[in-house]
Amino acid sequence: MAKDNQVLEEITSKEYEHGWTVNLEADEAPKGLNEDIVRFISAKKNEPEWLLEWRLKAFRHWQKMEEPKWPNVHYPAINYQDIIYYSAPKKKKELTDLNEVDPELIKTFEKLGISLTEQKRLTGVAVDAVIDSVSVATTFKDKLAELGIVFCSFSEAVKEHPELIKKYLGSVVPMNDNYFAALNSAVFSDGSFCYIPKGVRCPMELSTYFRINAANTGQFERTLIVADEGSYVSYLEGCTAPMRDENQLHAAVVELYAMKDAEIKYSTVQNWYPGDKEGKGGIYNFVTKRGLCFGDHSKISWTQVETGSAITWKYPSCVLKGDYSMGEFYSVAVTNNYQQADTGTKMIHIGKNTKSRIVSKGISAGKSQNSYRGQVHVMKRATNARNFSQCDSLLMGDQCGAHTFPYIDVENQTARIEHEATTSKIGEDQIFYCLQRGIDEEAAVALIVNGYAKEVLNQLPMEFAVEAQKLLALTLEGSVG
């Protein structure tokens, strides 16, 4: 209740809130991509030989691959040689203490609403902040360390826990999985790593905040979360980028690995810069996210609120290998102006008695195109697999489009699969009812849209839910009436 009200009060600022650049002296690679750049990135990060080899192998695969053409999105060809593949905020020395972090950087985070300071501790969020692909500092490390939880930047993990990285890197998303995953594998600059030991229930929400800052930089971060037997973790990811006229590329990879009885909950609020009203600028968000329910009774749950990016290409998926494992996907994708989103999930049922649930709520406004693309695949030995999918689309205005592409492939007779989809609009009678009660049109739309998306928003941790609601309202501003 309280959060709803807050949302409504704060729908006042009109432009993209997070659109400012901070002057941080960047440590950049020259434009373009070749083996030398890959070596440069690896050297910058003092990586071991095996990781460099892994990157080079990915790069060679990538060179032979073709950019996928099947998504229902349209954009001018990307010149991969015109992108800066590495940009790190310059650091004067090793950071061991929050107080040593560049104050300007701290200011950046404060503007974003993530403070690395004590007040955040009260809310129980541990943050690993990634700015232009380099993890800056991680809070709560000590507290987590007591429980044996590893939560650090990817580069740090490479140094401190090479055995874990070596074992799990690319185990869920192989380096040659797809064009963008291969690109990421070759040039990823940093990201987050998290390991939850056996039987440990992570006592706080772990959080990463991504932000693309420098012009012409692509962000290629990589997240790897490993939940050992019987453990639990809830992970939050937030994304913003400053306003720029040109398009910026973001190709991240997220791998989740859940062992027996483990549970991983991964929530994203994606608010990359979507471009302006004429469709100029904005982030190309081509992300590969996949979770492997490796052990029996494991569970992976994806929740995403996608409001940003000029183009979104993203299918957080679950491979249900363990018997009785469970996958969930809850998504709200909002597009306005000239945004294009092609997003959904894959649920691959391999183990027996596996279950999956898909709830997707698309909202299109302006001249945007919003597509749900999902696959439910029940393999031959997946006896008693269950899936329920609900994909709803809401259209606002007659110049946008909503598209649904569900693939249902069943190879086992005991499977029970249900898919439902509807398309609707906000009823004029609903708006009038709100107006009559004194609620203005903008607030009425926010209220109705939040109601429509509630099933998904309910999945988010409290702090994120508030932000997500605000974003929905902001994204749809001016789209009605």
Partner 1 sequence: MGNTAVDIDLNKEIVSSFSGQDFSGAIDSRELALMHFQKLGLPTNKSEEYRFTPIGKNLSKNFTWKTVSTESTIGSIEPFLMEGVEASVVVLVNGIYSSKLSHIKHDKNEITVMSLTDAFKTHEAIVAQYFGKNLPTESDSFVAMNSAFWQSGVFIHVKENTNVEKPVLILHVNDAQNAQVNSQTRLLAIVEKNSSLSVIEKFESVGDNYVFHNFCEEIAVKENARLEYCKVQNDAGKSIQVANTVIHQSATSKVDTFTLTLDGEMVRNNLTIVIDGENCESHFHGLYLLKGNTLADNHTVVDHKKPNSFSNELYKGIMDGNAKGVFNGKIFVRPHAQKTNAFQSNRNILLSDSATVNTKPQLEIWADDVKCSHGCTSGQLDEEALFYLRSRGIPADTAKAMLLYAFALDVLAPVKNESLKTYLDKLISDRLHKNF
Partner 2 sequence: MLQIKNLQASIEGKQILNGIDLQVNAGEVHAIMGPNGSGKSTLASVLAGREEYEVTGGEVEFLGKNLLELEPDQRAGEGIFLAFQYPVEIPGVSTVNFMKTAVNKIRAYRGQNALDAVAFLQLMKEKMKLVEIDQALLSRSLNEGFSGGEKKRNEIFQMAMLEPTLSILDETDSGLDIDALRIVANGVNKLRNKNNATIVVTHYQRLLDYIVPDFVHVLYKGRIVKSGGKELAKELEAKGYDWIKSQLADSVIS
Q: Which residues bind partner 1 (CB under 8 A)?
A: 70, 378, 380, 393, 395-425
Q: Which does 421 bind (CB under 5 to 8 A by kind): partner 2, partner 1, none?
A: partner 1
Q: Which does 405 bind (CB under 5 to 8 A by kind): partner 1, partner 2, none?
A: partner 1
For strand 190-196 and strand 150-153, is the pairing parallel, antiparallel, or unpaired? antiparallel
- Tracing tokens 């690395």 back to the chain, one arrives at 116
For partner 1, the closer CB: 44 or 403: 403
For partner 2, the closer CB: 450 or 479: 450
- Tracing tokens 């309202």 back to the chain, one arrives at 473
> Could you give the 3-state DSSP secondary structure of residue 328?
strand
Contact call for residue 51 and partner 2 (CB under 8 A): no
For partner 2, the closer CB: 3 or 166: 3
Contact call for residue 5 and partner 2 (CB under 8 A): yes
Of 417-446, binders to partner 2 (CB under 8 A) are 427-430, 432-441, 443
> Could you give the 3-state DSSP secondary structure of residue 219?
strand
> Could you give the 3-state DSSP secondary structure of residue 377?
strand
Q: Which does 5 bind (CB under 5 to 8 A by kind): partner 2, partner 1, none?
A: partner 2
For partner 2, the closer CB: 102 or 467: 467
Determine contact, residues 26/132, Cβ cutoff 8 Å.
yes
Tokens of 173: 């998303």
Distance, in Å, from the CA atom of 191 to the CA atom of 284, rounded to the nearest integer, reads 18
Q: Which does 333 bind (CB under 5 to 8 A by kind): partner 2, partner 1, none?
A: none
Q: How far is the CB of 248 from partner 1 (least distance, A)?
A: 29
Contact call for residue 412 and partner 2 (CB under 8 A): no
- Tracing tokens 């699969």 back to the chain, one arrives at 417
Q: How far is the CB of 368 from partner 2 (least distance, A)?
A: 22
Q: Where are the beta strands (DSSP E) in 14-53?
A: 26-28
Q: How far is the CB of 321 from partner 1 (least distance, A)?
A: 20
Determine contact, residues 32/186, Cβ cutoff 8 Å.
no
Tokens of 16: 């993209």
Given 8, 105, 241, 395, the residue binding partner 2 (CB under 8 A): 8
Among 446, 431, 335, 426, smallest CA distance to 10 is for 446
Determine contact, residues 188/253, Cβ cutoff 8 Å.
yes
For partner 1, the closer CB: 322 or 362: 362
In order of 155, 209, 356, the CA distances from 237 in angstroms are 18, 6, 22
Q: How far is the CB of 337 from partner 2 (least distance, A)?
A: 25
Tokens of 205: 């929400």
**Residues in the site for partner 2, rule: CB under 8 A?**
1-2, 4-5, 8-9, 427-430, 432-441, 443, 447-448, 450-455
